Structure 1
Amino acid sequence: MHRVVEPAGVLPQAADRLDPDPVIGADEVRIRVERLNLDAASFHQLRTEHGGDGGLVRAAVLDIVGRRGKMHNPVTGSGGMLIGTVEAVGPASPLGLRAGDRVATLVSLTLTPLRIADDLRDWDGLSEQVPCDGHAILFARSIAAVLPGDLDPQLALAVLDVCGAPALVARVVRQSLRDRAAATGPLTVAVLGAAGKSGSLALAAARDAAGDARDVARDVARDAGAVVDDAGVTVRAVGVVRDDTERARLTAAGLADTVTVADARDAVGLAAALDRTGGPADVTVVCVDVPGCEHAAVLATAPGGTVIFFSMATSFPAAALGAEGLAADVTMLIGNGYVPGHADYALRLLRTDAGVRDLFQARLRTEAPPGLAD
Structure 2
Amino acid sequence: MLNGLGVSSEATQRTLAAGDPLGTHRVLDPPGALPQPAARLDADASRSFETEIVVEVQTLNIDAASFRQMEEASFGSPDGVARLVLETVARRGKQHNPVTGSGGMLLGVVRRVGSLAEHRGVAVGDRVATLASLSLTPLSLRRIVAVRPASAQLDVEGTAIVFASAPLARMPTDMPERLALALLDVAGAAPQVARLAGPGDTVAVLGAGGKSGLLCAAEARRRVGPGGRVIGVETSAEFAADLRALGLCDHVAVADARDPIAVRDAVLPLSGGAGADLTLSCVNVPGVELSAIVATRDRGKAYFFAMSTSFTAAALGAEGIGKDVDLYIGNGYAHGHADHTLALVRERPALAALMASRYG
Q: Same fold (TM over 0.5)?
A: yes
Match of 1:318 among 302, 313, 333: 313
What letter corresponds to residue 3 of structure 1 in structure 2? R
In 2: Cα distance, 1:350 partner to 1:37 partner: 19
2:151 & 2:40 partners in 1: Cα distance?
25
User: 2: distance between equivalents of 1:122 and 1:24?
Assistant: 30
Q: For 1:120, what is the secondary structure of its paired residue?
A: strand
The number of residues matched between the two structures is: 333
1:288 aligns with 2:283: yes
Q: Take 2:309 and 2:350, find their aligned partners in 1: how far apart are those partners?
A: 27
- 2-structure distance, mates of 1:304, 1:344: 32
* Corresponding position: 1:243 with 2:236: yes
Structure 2 residue aligned with 1:107: 132
Q: How do 1:1-374 residues align onto structure 2 when only pairs under 5 Å count? A: 1-22=24-45, 23-93=47-117, 94-117=119-142, 119-123=143-147, 127-174=151-198, 177=199, 186-211=200-225, 234-278=227-271, 279=273, 280-364=275-359, 373=360
Secondary structure of residue in 2 paired with 1:2: helix
Does the C-alpha gap of structure 1 residues 251 and 125 become closer, same or farther in structure 2, counting only changes over 3 Å? closer
Structure 1 position 124, deviation (Å): 6.3
> Deviations 1:24-80 (Å, cap 9, x if unpaired)?
311110000010000100000000111101211111110000100000000000010
| Preserved contact between residue 34 and residue 84 of structure 1 (Cα < 8 Å) | yes
Q: TM-score, normalised by structure 2?
A: 0.90
Offset at residue 234 of structure 1 (A): 3.2
Q: Distance in 1 between matches of 2:342 and 2:177?
A: 12
Taking a change above 3 Å as real, the CA distance of residues 123 and 261 of structure 1, as seen in their structure-2 partners, is closer
Are the counterparts in 1 of residues 145 and 154 from structure 2 also a CA contact under 8 Å?
A: no
Find the residue that maps to 2:249 and give its secondary structure.
coil
Amino acid aligned to 1:101? D
1:181 alignment partner in structure 2? none
Percent identity of paired positions between Structure 1 and Structure 2:
48
Q: Which moved more, 1:310-319 or 1:47-56?
A: 47-56
**Cα distance in 2 between the residues matched to 1:12 and 1:306:** 31
User: What is the alpha-carbon distance in structure 2 between the residues aligned to residue 244 and residue 56 of structure 1?
Assistant: 28
How far is the alpha carbon of 1:125 from its aligned partner? 6.3
SS of 2:318's equivalent in the other structure is helix
Q: Which residue identity does 1:342 align to in structure 2?
A: H
Aligned-pair RMSD on alpha carbons?
A: 1.4
1:90 CA displacement: 0.3
Measure the CA separation in 1 of the matches of 2:238 and 2:351. 17
SS across alignment from 1:123:
strand
Q: TM-score, normalised by structure 1?
A: 0.86
Query: Contact 1:271/1:299 (CA < 8 Å) preserved in 2?
Result: yes
Contact 1:282 1:302 in 2 (8 A): yes
SS of 1:252's equivalent?
helix
The gaps in structure 2 that reach 5 residues or longer are 1-23
Q: Which runs of 5+ in 1 are unaligned?
A: 178-185, 212-232, 365-372
Measured in 2, the distance between the counterparts of 1:88 and 1:235 equals 49
**CA distance in 2: counterparts of 1:140 and 1:124, whole angstroms:** 30
SS at match of 1:137: strand
CA contact (8 A) 2:145 2:157 kept: no
Distance 1:148 1:54, change over 3 A: same
Quote the offset at 1:327 in angstroms: 1.0
TM-aligned CA deviation for residue 246 of structure 1: 1.6
- Whether the aligned pair in 1 keeps the contact of 2:151 and 2:182 (CA below 8 Å) is no
Task: Output the amino acid matched with 1:95.
Answer: R
- State the AA in 2 paired with 1:165: A
Aligned to 1:216: none
Counterpart amino acid of residue 197 in structure 1: K
- State the 1:135 CA deviation: 0.6
